[in-house]
A and B are shown apart, each in its own frame.
Chain A
């Protein structure tokens, strides 16, 4: 059913720390590695070694340069998978029931056996989370590695999405945002977590920790220290012990 559940028992999702991400693309590579041979695979990969490679990725790593007055420019690496929105517009527009949001954990999925490939869901998503597989004629998207996180045949500590287990910097956290005591909820509460594009009113489950504030003030402090030392030396030089 493409009506959204009123409430999901869990809100499984990712917390991505933009301050830590170094833009290495390991999450995207491991995502493709896992999912191309997982339940949603194979993921389209046309002319991978040709001049014009093209294919489906559930997770793409953008990067942006931020400029602000009185602050040093900063480069922000920006991984963007599906945000598994609470008010997912991609689900309600689906005419066939192929798109769904699970009431137990809030994961948004596409059933490839029912999808007619009308692409309307990809139009409805403001984030570009859905990509069309031209070979299979169906829409594809991030599954939050639903075939990995519940797999009891692998050790419990490895039951996290492929992008999370592979991140060498520890920039991605996986957990239940509905539980206020979970790792992701605590991190989000402590660190000014952001949702993407709040104007779209999709209530994304995934959240992002912004880059930490850095100001030119740090340099000023250094200047201050140097002046202090200079002053002190001058005082000794002139044998001035006042103040």
Chain B
């Protein structure tokens, strides 16, 4: 699949934003020493900015961004629509918790229930985001549970790094452990998709499996069409290896080591982690092969 920058920014930024918000809410509900007002306000503000950048970016690749509001209507069948609805609903707790802490309107007894709602909303939004991809049978690299697990874990690990930047170092061991879990999940996902390559053949796509091996004879059209431009991304093995190392290194390994060493410039760790997540998400698209390629250049997908 063609790795479009708008969708890469959408999923990485909003993932980090929701992860950060989950960390903040979990501390509001469970921590013995709850976060300070300053931490709550800056945490909710950064969540809003990250999720906001993500959602705005997701509308940039639309043919008709001015009609984006229509995407809230088909939540009965469409994971994309569900994601849209839940992401907007989750802004409720984020803005309430930040606003109440900053303005002191006298509703502080609602902050804990709102934090619980916030965790549920953010987890559900991340789940629907992952299901946009995991529900597509036509893209085997996405149509598996590791994608669903990955979106949750990577949001929590990258959001955890951002939370340390906001609220200090008390959870740094837990976050570095989560980064290592994220590393494992990513490696297992790659093993899974590499092992499952080639499960569909061109002859299956043509419905003529009993006629022997088929190869394209003459192209259906002289120039590349929309399908080949959108789904026909070719990733060379060397670049894949390079990007996989960048994703693992910047997304998980370097942030985990720096956190464990209590490296003082925490904003740098957050930026490295976000960059690594963008490399991971670039690969998520570039590596995913669509079965429509069986009608074109691929013998198997």
A199 adjacent to B200 (CB under 8 Å): yes
**CB-CB nearest in chain B for A131:** B226
Chain B nearest CB from A10 CB (Å) reads 22
B223 adjacent to A116 (CB under 8 Å): no
B187 an interface residue at 8 Å Cβ cutoff?
A: no
B262 an interface residue at 8 Å Cβ cutoff?
A: no
Chain B nearest CB from A94 CB (Å) reads 6
B295 adjacent to A128 (CB under 8 Å): yes
**How far apart sit A76 and B215, CA to CA, in the bound complex (Å)?**
10
A94-B214 contact, Cβ under 8 Å, with A57-B225, A126-B205:
no
CB contact list, B76-114 vs A, under 8 A: 76-81, 84
A230 an interface residue at 8 Å Cβ cutoff?
A: no
A92 an interface residue at 8 Å Cβ cutoff?
A: yes
**How far apart sit A133 and B291, CA to CA, in the bound complex (Å)?**
21
A68 adjacent to B70 (CB under 8 Å): no
CB contact list, A7-65 vs B, under 8 A: 18, 52-54, 56-57, 60-65
A65 adjacent to B73 (CB under 8 Å): no
CB contact list, B197-215 vs A, under 8 A: 200, 202, 204-208, 211-215
Q: Is the interface of A mostly helix, strand, loop or mixed?
A: loop
A66 adjacent to B292 (CB under 8 Å): no
**Residues of chain B lying within 8 A (CB to CB) of residue A175:** none
Residue count of chain B within 8 Å CB distance of chain A: 55
- Segment with Cβ contacts to B, from A144-152, A178-186, A189-197: A189-197
Residue count of chain A within 8 Å CB distance of chain B: 67
**Residues of chain A lying within 8 A (CB to CB) of residue B62:** 116-118, 137
B226 adjacent to A211 (CB under 8 Å): no
B207 adjacent to A201 (CB under 8 Å): no
**Residues of chain B lying within 8 A (CB to CB) of residue A61:** 220
A194 adjacent to B217 (CB under 8 Å): no
A64 adjacent to B217 (CB under 8 Å): yes
CB contact list, A119-138 vs B, under 8 A: 119-120, 122-128, 131-134, 136-138
**CB-CB nearest in chain B for A196:** B207
**How far apart sit A69 and B211, CA to CA, in the bound complex (Å)?**
10
**CB-CB nearest in chain A for B294:** A197
B290 an interface residue at 8 Å Cβ cutoff?
A: yes
A89 an interface residue at 8 Å Cβ cutoff?
A: yes
B220 adjacent to A76 (CB under 8 Å): no
A66-B214 contact, Cβ under 8 Å, with A93-B78, A122-B230, A197-B291:
yes
A65 adjacent to B217 (CB under 8 Å): yes
Chain A nearest CB from B50 CB (Å) reads 22
B211 adjacent to A211 (CB under 8 Å): yes
**Residues of chain A lying within 8 A (CB to CB) of residue B74:** 1-2, 94-97
**Residues of chain B lying within 8 A (CB to CB) of residue A131:** 225-227
Chain A nearest CB from B60 CB (Å) reads 11
Q: Which residues on A are within 8 Å of B, measured CB to CB?
A: 1-4, 18, 52-54, 56-57, 60-69, 71, 74-76, 78, 80, 89, 91-98, 114-120, 122-128, 131-134, 136-138, 194-201, 208, 210-211
- Segment with Cβ contacts to A, from B18-26, B134-142, B153-161, B177-185: B134-142
**Residues of chain A lying within 8 A (CB to CB) of residue B61:** 118-119
**How far apart sit A66 and B208, CA to CA, in the bound complex (Å)?**
10
**Residues of chain B lying within 8 A (CB to CB) of residue A75:** 217
**CB-CB nearest in chain A for B70:** A96
Smallest CB-CB A-B distances: 9 pairs:
A117-B63, A137-B63, A68-B212, A194-B207, A95-B81, A95-B71, A128-B292, A96-B70, A63-B217
B132 an interface residue at 8 Å Cβ cutoff?
A: yes
**Residues of chain A lying within 8 A (CB to CB) of residue B221:** 57, 60
**How far apart sit A84 and B80, CA to CA, in the bound complex (Å)?**
22
B216 an interface residue at 8 Å Cβ cutoff?
A: yes
- 17 new A-B contacts, CB < 8 A, other than A53-B222, A128-B292, A197-B207, are A61-B220, A64-B215, A64-B217, A71-B212, A95-B80, A96-B67, A96-B74, A97-B73, A115-B67, A116-B65, A116-B71, A117-B64, A118-B80, A123-B139, A128-B295, A200-B138, A211-B208
**How far apart sit A18 and B208, CA to CA, in the bound complex (Å)?**
11
A116 adjacent to B68 (CB under 8 Å): yes
B71 adjacent to A138 (CB under 8 Å): no
**Residues of chain A lying within 8 A (CB to CB) of residue B138:** 89, 123-126, 200
**How far apart sit A142 and B85, CA to CA, in the bound complex (Å)?**
30
